[in-house]
Structures are given as structure tokens and as C-alpha cells.
Amino acid sequence: MLSVLILIPFVCGLVVFLPMERRLRVRILCAVSLVHAMIVASFWKVNPPSEINGFLMLDAIGLIVLSIVSFLFLSVSVYMVGYFHHEQRRTRTFVACLLLLLSTMTLVSVSRHMGLLWVAIEATTLFSAPLISFHRNPESLEATWKYLLVCSVGIALALLGTFFLAIAAHDVHTLLLPVLLSGAKMLSVNWLKLSVIFLLVGYGCKMGLAPMHSWKPEAYGQAPGMIAALMSGALTQCSFLALIRVSQICAKTGLSEFYASILIVTGALSLVAPAIFILGEGNIKRAFAYSSVEHMGILVLGLGLGPVGIFGAFFHMINNAVAKVAAFLAAGSLAQKYGSSRATEVKGVIHLYPVTGVLLIAGFLAGTGMFPFATFHSELMILNAAVLSGHYLLALVYLGGILVMFIGVLRIVLEMALGKPTQPVLPAKENFLMNAAIAVAMIISLGLGLWMPDILTKVLNDAVALVRI
């Protein structure tokens, strides 16, 4: 079943290269996402068997990432049906890359071999790069180039880290995760330490952790809203999954302390750095990009802060993805209507597009972790973990970072939502499908904030148990 799940989008990705009507391609994407989501939903009931000699297997952590990926693709594809109603650009490469991206992201979430994981993550970089330059203007090409180069070099370092891991696992003779974990005593600790540093820098680059985040504001600022949503919600989680895998290995080899200390430093940096840059920002998509850097910091911080933090991090993965979808889709919807996402050129949205305006504000509140949205709870859990483990200074930095980010983004969102309306490029008419996709994400974020389903608690606890010693 797992290989089928990878193959369906892959084959369809090749099929859409054939000549066909442009909107048909978007419909194919929609259908594939729906089928993908239905299969993934069935995995919550029955766990699929492992495949290809144990290379592909779905555990609780993989299930969380896979569900995020699947949900994000479904909302983005529904949104795209509305988006391409007004967009006259060709869809061939765009939809093909999206489908191939879905296929490779699925591979990331189910792969149990550290080498295969690298291959899949590198492939996600390659298929996401052409999506950024959708508008094909100099700025978007520059952003694509920056993303491609920074991430490729970062991922190359992760490859080196994977090879170091292979040396550390010389006596185990394989990089299959279950074998690595059961033979953890045989790993060479010095090589493993070197490998952990390279893997963290490499995958951290792809995840957009400070100080390797320079590509993020450019790429998210230039990419269409739905691509920014996919990248900030799903693509970054794929790299985070790699960091969780490293965490699993470290827990078994007694390197948890060592790994946790690096994670905490990187996390704290990722909270401080975007807070400095956000204050001078005037572009809503770039502002959300800085917010995304901050949330990646929160995730790695949670991973480094023991069981409570790890639970918070897993929960925050889901919440952040859902909130980012709403925020970026709303911003993307305005960018299409006004031809810009700068706060100086987009004003008084709430008067012309009341629904989109309200959704933008709601997306902003969810994205910055306000009550009653679910992000609030997961951020609180991680703060709790920091205080419980005695990192008081860290807790202060954490609160400060979140507060500055809130003010920084609030300034831009209020300027855009309220005020004297500026004239949009497109006629002032709401698009139902686009708003529906955003609203569903918003409802989920609100729902998870008020009520936690038992099955989700169980899966999150299973996932935490996999990372703990």
C-alpha cells in the first residue's frame, strides 16, 4: 500500500506532462490529493505492512508527517481550482512538480533508511524549486536560485553527515533505522557526533533554522501563496522528520544530552534572529516567512527539551502546518487580487473582501499562537517544558521572541485589513473555493485548540515513546 501511495502521484505527475486543457491538470491534482488523503486516513485505523525489505514502513512519527502532507495538499489543490480561475499562466510544469513533490514527500515520511531519506529530501528540494519561480520575473528567479543553491549545499552537507553515520555504523553494516536502533551499542560515538552535527546543519538548512534561513523570506515572498503554504507547512516538516530520526539514534546511544544542547542553541537562535528582522518588514508573505523561521525554532527547541517538549513539538508540527496553510493561503489570495503583498499597496481588505479579510486576521492569530487556536496550547507545552527543565533564561527568550513576532506581524496585518481601501487589480468578488480551503484549516486549528481527540493523543504518545530512551 505504501509503494502505491508513492507511485500514484508520481505516475500522475508524468501524465500531466501530456498536452491537455490547463484546468484539467488542476482537477487531476485535486483528484490525486483526495485519493491520497483517503488512503492516509485509512492508515489511522490500520497500520500498513512494511515493504521493500523494511525500507518503507510507517510508524507514529511518519503517520503524523504523512497526514500533515496529505491534508496540506488537499487544501492547496482545492484552493488552486479557485486560483486558476483567474490565472492565465500555463500549468504543465507547475502541476507536474506539485504531484512529484507529493510523491517524494510521501517517500520521506515512510522511508526507514537514512540513505533513502536523504535521496527523498533532496528530491523534494529539486521539485519544489521550479514552483517558486511561477511568476517568472527577475525577483522570483533570484529567490529560486537562492533557495536551490542554499538548500542543495545544505543537503550536500547532510549527505556527508549520512556517510559519517555509515562509518559510525561500520559494525552494523546498514543504515536501516530499526537495525541501527537495535545495534546502537555498536556505533562509534566519535563518528556519530560528527555525523549529528553535519546532519543538523544540513537538514536545518532545508528546514530554515537560523542562521541558515536566508532563503526563506525570499522564497516565501516570491512563491505563490499556496506554494509558500506547502513549503512552510509540509516541506519543512519533512526535514524536521530527519532531525527526529537523528534524535531517535542519539537517544539509543547516550548522546541525547549532546544533541539536546545543540538543538536548544539552534532553537534559541531561530527565535531571536527573525524577531530582529521582522520589525523592518513591510511584506505580509515575507513576514509570515520570518514567523515560519520562529516556529521551526520552537519545534527544535521542543525536541531538545525532554518528553513534555517532544510531545509539544509533535503537536506543534500539526498546529503550525494548519495555521500556516490558513495564513499563507489568505495572503496568497490577496496577492493575486491586488498584484502585490506589500502593506503599502494593499489596504482596507476587510471593506472589499470581508471574508478573506477576516480569514487573514484569523490566520494571523492562529499563526502567532493566540488563544483559542491550537498553536497556543503547543507553544505553552514547550514553554512548560523549558521551565520544568530549569531553562529559565531560555523561557524568557522564548516569550520575548514570540511577543516581538506577534507585534511585528500584527502591525502589517492591521495595516492591510483596515484603513482606506486601495483598488485591487481583479474585480472585488470573493472566491468560494479559495475561502473554503482557508476556512476549513481555520476550523481545524480552532477545533484542536478546544478539544483533543483520543486517537490523536494516542498517536502523539506513541510518537513520543519512539523518541524517548
Stretch that binds another protein, among 135-143, 312-320, 372-380, 425-433 (CB under 8 A): 135-143
Question: What are the residues whose beta carbons fall under 8 Å from the beta carbon of 182, sequence distance 6 or more?
Answer: none
Question: Cα dihedral sign for 166, 171, 172, 174?
Answer: positive
Q: Is 56 helix (H, G, I), strand (E, B) or coil?
A: strand
Nearer to another protein, 84 or 164 (CB): 164
Burial 116-137 (b: 16+ CB within 10 A, else e): bbbebbbbbbbbbbbbbbbeee
State which of residues 8, 56, 116, 313 lies at the interface with another protein (CB under 8 A): 116
Q: What is the closest distance, in whole angstroms, from the C-beta atom of residue 110 to another protein in the complex?
A: 15
* Nearest CB to another protein, comparing residues 19 and 138: 138
Closest by alpha carbon to 114, among 242, 268, 207? 242
Position 96 contacts another protein (CB under 8 A): no
276 near another protein, rule: CB under 8 A: no
Please list, in sequence order, all residues whose beta carbon lies within 8 angstroms of the beta carbon of residue 288, skipping any fewer than 6 positions away. Answer: 220, 228, 232, 324, 327, 328, 331, 367, 409
C-alpha 107/C-alpha 26 separation (Å) is 22
The least CB distance from residue 379 to another protein, in Å, is 35
C-alpha cell of 369?
Answer: 499562537
Q: Are the CB atoms for 187 and 207 separated by under 8 Å? A: no
Residue 175, interface with another protein (CB under 8 A)? yes
Q: Give CA–CA dist 124/6, Å, rounded.
A: 13
> Does the protein bind another protein through residue 197 (CB under 8 A)?
no
Residue 149 touches another protein, criterion: CB under 8 A: yes
Residues with Cβ < 8 Å from 433, sequence gap 6 or more? Answer: 78, 79, 81, 82
Q: Which is nearer to another protein, 216 or 347 (CB)?
A: 216
Q: Which residue from 132, 300, 137, 131 is spatially nearest to 217, judged by alpha carbons?
A: 132
What is the closest distance, in whole angstroms, from the C-beta atom of residue 60 to another protein in the complex? 25
Using omega within 30 degrees of 0 as the cis cutoff, is the peptide bond preceding 49 cis?
Answer: no
Residue 113 interacting with another protein (CB under 8 A): yes
Asked if omega into 372 is within 30° of 0 (cis), the reply is yes
Please choose, out of 79-87, 157-165, 279-287, 431-439, the segment that lies near another protein by the rule CB under 8 A: 157-165
- State which of residues 1, 35, 81, 160 lies at the interface with another protein (CB under 8 A): 160
Confirm if 248 and 199 have CB atoms less than 8 A apart: no
159 part of the interface to another protein, by CB under 8 A:
yes
Q: Does 258 bind another protein (CB under 8 A)?
A: no
Among 33, 75, 109, 144, binds another protein (CB under 8 A): 144
Residues across the chain: 469
Closer Cβ to another protein, 56 or 413, answer by number: 56
Closer residue to another protein in complex, CB, 163/418: 163
| 173 is a contact residue toward another protein (CB under 8 A) | yes
Task: State in angstroms the smallest separation of the CB of 155 from another protein.
Answer: 9
Q: Which of 103, 133, 239, 291 binds another protein (CB under 8 A)?
A: 133
Task: Choose one: 80-88, 122-130, 387-395, 451-459; the region binding another protein (CB under 8 A).
Answer: 122-130
Angle CA 328–206–317, to nearest 5: 55
Q: Which residues bind another protein (CB under 8 A)?
A: 113, 115-116, 118-119, 122-123, 125-126, 129-130, 133, 136-138, 141-142, 144-145, 148-149, 152-153, 156, 159-160, 163, 166-167, 169-171, 173-175, 188, 191, 194
